[in-house]
Structure 1
């Protein structure tokens, strides 16, 4: 309440010169004297956040290593969302007695996507706190292992309810791709680099369900089931 009252007591000049919370300066402007004695304006990129002297600090890692981490996080986001949407193209096959007996209704089949998408978001209620306590790397490895094993479970499922349970745990395993992965990207890159890095990550994130819905149709057509 104190900050709220103070905000309305600011003068017009104070409001004009104030910076919103989180504002950082990316470029510093200064004059540099040349050999001829002239002062030439120079722009220098400021590193924010400031890297430490520890070589293990992710901000001090070489660019190729940061790029590899970005590629891994982007691929994880792509795969997690690909598996969420790819099964939709196989619904006409699952609705026949050729797969499950008795065949599930289309209402039941839509739950295969609904529970997966639900857990992609809801599972981060515990994934993110666990990542903050135990670190990003073990949580990402555990979630990837969960997604892989449950994808195999879904492929070998012999009943609708078994497939539904597998899809639920697939969503749990893919949850960190939407929340923990962008945190990893943000912790590796400087502020002036994060825009491009997050754009690459977001492209893979959004391409996942798009390619999954299309690619799932070819998989279903060639194999009969996903």
Structure 2
């Protein structure tokens, strides 16, 4: 049913189809950054042959893209202060599109390396802004489901990129078409974002359907009973002063700059440094560690598996290297309902038991299964490579590691964003800087570590570190309220 009248609603009360479209737009763009960064690996042989570079130089094409993605997160919030989220993302999409075309036309190794660094700097902004936009658009009982879509797309890019690249390398024997196909996808994403990615910043004129300003206190008390009305498209009556059509709301949020004015701009250096004190908050620190390790071990596994199976005695072709990435893709897919729907069901059940008092930690029990399976996947990979077993063991183990991203790491991210909604952008910056920094580091050290200690010791150490991270969640669950209050006090939130 068409909405004919709607108040100047907080984004959390916009029609569900609009919020889902926003979620898909930012999630797809986030995925494309990881497709770009990880998809280069099946082309190493072609690139070495064309540019006469060493294998180490070829691997840096992936490493420096990850580094640029991480650095870009630090620039996102200062840029948003002056351009707003919508125009920051649209500008980054245009630059990212240009960098993909540049990569496809590169005639030298240095030119290709430069294009990948620029693309990483452009795309990284969405990693920082994604959790912030999700928290602005979805209520507490929907947060984990929305966040698991975002995290699922993010992680899927690392698997989809090599799968697509492997097919292109095998079918066309030409690495350039990978970037042209990527550019086409970005154009579609850009058009969709121009039309359906409005500015989601909360303003003093935003109202909830009952006419009350959506303050954090009211949002935390679970009072979202009017939300279903907007989702079904029924006309809403409100005591708010400003009533307007959905069309005018869309035009105002999408094609005006009024949200960039009306408040004093913060110092960009201050905004650059602002996220780092959040490391003092135990929920943020533990989330960063678990999320960063899970992503880092996924990247390391990709590098190790690719290098092991492309060498003698296996001598796999590019398409075979691409297809083994179906392992983590399946693991991510299986984890989606556990890290999304199950976590939100636990949150809603706890809300009913507590008579409407929302508790972010109620989601945390959902991560137990992922916390057991994901580190175990490291052991499966290490044992498979150590004993030279069938490659399916490595694929299954890799899927188990990736399962932890959507089944458990996502739950921690949703919990932390829920605890610090007013600092969701800072949480996004820290988590993504950590994961990209770790990914950059392991991309350099992974094979040296593999050859010096052997796969069993390497992957066993990885499993132990990841389990240690998950053990830290136990005191986080038990003392959640005290730790959040402590964090708010020392950070003056």
Q: Shared fold (TM-score greater than 0.5)?
A: yes
Could you tell me how far apart the structure 2 residues matched to 1:146 and 1:188 are? 26
Q: Give the gaps of 5 or more residues in structure 1.
A: 1-52
1:170 aligns with 2:123: no
Structure 1 equivalent of residue 92 of structure 2: 143
Name which of 164, 170, 176 aligns with 1:215: 164
TM-score with structure 2 setting the length: 0.34
Aligned to 2:137: 188
CA deviations on 1:100-143 (whole Å, 9 max, x unpaired) are: 2xx11111111101110001111111122211342100000011
- State the match for 1:91 in structure 2: 44
Residue number in structure 1 paired with 2:128:
179
Counterpart position of 1:107: 56
Say whether residues 1:61 and 2:61 are aligned partners.
Answer: no
Q: Which has the higher helix share?
A: 2
Q: Which moved more, 1:203-212 or 1:176-185?
A: 176-185
What CA distance in whole angstroms lies between the structure 1 residues aligned with 2:54 and 2:46?
A: 11
Relative to its length, the structure with more strand (as a share) is 1
User: Number of residues paired by the alignment?
Assistant: 170
Question: TM-score, normalized by length of structure 1?
Answer: 0.72
Moved over 6 A (4+): none
3-state DSSP of counterpart to 2:107: coil
2: CA distance, partners of 1:118 / 1:188: 29
Q: Which residue of 1 aligns with 2:367?
A: none
User: Cα offset for 1:54?
Assistant: 5.1
Q: CA RMSD in A?
A: 1.4
Between 1 and 2, higher relative CO (CA 8 Å, sep ≥ 6) is seen in 1
| Contact 1:73 1:182 survives alignment (8 Å) | no
Give the C-alpha shift of residue 56 in structure 1: 4.8
Q: Which runs of 5+ in 2 are unaligned?
A: 1-5, 176-493
Secondary structure at 1:210 match in 2: helix
Contact 1:185-1:198 at 8 Å conserved across structures: yes
Q: State yes or no: 1:129 paired with 2:82.
A: no
